[in-house]
Amino acid sequence: MSSFPKNKHSTKCVEDGKCLESLQLILDGEASTEEEEAFMDHLNVCMPCYNHYKLDRAVKELLQTRIAKVKMPDHLVDNIKKQLAYIKESTSNS
Amino acid sequence: MEEDKKSNHQNPTGLNKTEKDALFEKEFMPLIDSLYNFAYRLTLDEDDANDLVQETYLKAYRFFDSYEQGTNAKAWLFRILKNSFINEFRKKSKEPSKVDYNEVETFYNSEDVDENITADLRVESISDMIGDEVANALNTLAVDFRTIIILCDLEGFTYEEMSKILDIPIGTVRSRLHRARNLLKEKLKNYATTMGYNK
């Protein structure tokens, strides 16, 4: 950051919670370009929002990278395929 | 083959059976691990997860005609699975009574909670956490909150897609997500403190 945030030692943003909405939209890729740019500009001058955004990004990345995806066991996949095959067979005769 | 497509009026998707089966195979079968993962995170039980996935695929095949080609196969299947979960497993789960979502709506506008949680939890503490701790934090959330985090952060659905999967307005998607994340952060904060990360 090039300039010191004005409210460096405060934990509250002056923007009345509008930022919370923007933050989440941006975090989830749902914000417009304008909204995102405005928010990023805001982060340059608002320490609470900057910290909050950093934290939320970290939590999201944590979820995306640290939780192992469970794979369906092969024998269970095969079982489902068999059941579907049976249904496909029986409907082809109608 | 082309004539079949044009003259087939019984099958709304415009395909004959061979083409239909091929399409089902191509669009839906690759999603089985994703579905199983979701089912497992919902039920926290391998057998229940298997039953759910099985039921989902059978239903998907039965109702394949109502699936619009070129639309979101994954969201469609997830919606079926979620509805099956509600019908079959919600009854027997030990979940606490339904969350008051009016409370959630107003909560969304309260910044105090956000400040406190955010102030107490450090990014450094989070980056030290291992997979099990994160998974535990997620698993102990009430199922509706757990679900929305899974759909958004683990599966990458958009708000619009989540709205369709869960049958709730987009506004509710946003507020529930916000609340779920605050709850998750609280749990991560507790873990961090217990593990001595948060010093």
Q: In this complex, is the C-beta atom of A62 within 8 Å of any C-beta atom belonging to chain B? A: yes
Read off the pLDDT band of A45 (50, 70, 90): very high
Q: Please choose, from the candidates B105, B116, B95, the residue with its C-alpha nearest in 3D space to the C-alpha of residue B178.
A: B105
> Considering B89, B113, B134, which residue would you say is the last residue of a domain?
B89
Show which of residues 45-84 on chain B sit within 8 Å of chain A, judged by CB atoms: 50, 53-54, 57-58, 61-62
Say how many domains are in chain B.
2
Whether residue B140 is found in the same domain as residue B117:
yes
Chain A, nearest residue to B175 by Cα? A21
Q: What is the mean pLDDT of chain A?
A: 85
Contacts of B196 (CB under 8 A, 6+ apart): none
Mean pLDDT of B96-109: 51
Is residue B95 in a domain?
A: no
Owning domain of residue B51: 2-89
Q: Chain B within 8 Å of A72 (Cβ-Cβ)? A: yes
Asked if A72 lies within 8 A of B32 by C-beta distance, the reply is yes
B39 and B85 inside one domain? yes
pLDDT in tens, B58-70: 999 999 988 887 7
A58 CB within 8 Å of a chain B CB: yes
Q: Among the three residues B89, B110, B129, which one is the final residue of a domain in this structure?
A: B89
Q: What is the CATH number of the domain that holds B61?
A: 1.10.1740.10
Phi, psi of A11 (to 5 degrees): -110, 5
> In this structure, are B135 and B155 located in the same domain?
yes
Average pLDDT score over residue span A22-44: 96
Residues A30, B159: C-beta atoms closer than 8 Å: yes
Residue from B19, B41, B198, B24 nearest B125 by CA: B198
HEC assignment per residue over chain B:
CHHHHHHCCCCCCCCCHHHHHHHHHHHHHHHHHHHHHHHHHHHCCHHHHHHHHHHHHHHHHHCHHHCCCCCCHHHHHHHHHHHHHHHHHCCCCCCCCCCCHHHHHHHCCCHHHHHHHHHHCCHHHHHCCCHHHHHHHHHCCCHHHHHHHHHHHHCCCCHHHHHHHHCCCHHHHHHHHHHHHHHHHHHHHHHHHHCCCCC
pTM over 0.90: no
**Under a CB-based contact definition with an 8 Å cutoff, are residues A84 and B32 in contact?**
no
Q: What is the mean pLDDT of residues B28-32?
A: 95
Nearest chain A Cα distance for residue B58, angstroms:
7
Q: Where are the domains positioned within chain A?
A: 18-92
Q: Is the ipTM of this complex over 0.95?
A: no
CATH number, domain of B146, equals: 1.10.10.10
Q: Which band of pLDDT confidence, cut at 50, 70 and 90, is reported for residue A16?
A: low
**Quick one: B69 and B132 in the same domain?**
no
CB of B109 less than 8 A from some CB of A: yes
Per the CB < 8 A criterion, the answer to whether A72 and B46 are in contact is no
Give Dmax (Cα) for chain A: 75
B69-80 pLDDT, tens digit per residue, is: 778 999 999 999
- Residue B68 and residue B38 in one domain: yes
Q: Are residues B80 and B108 in the same domain?
A: no
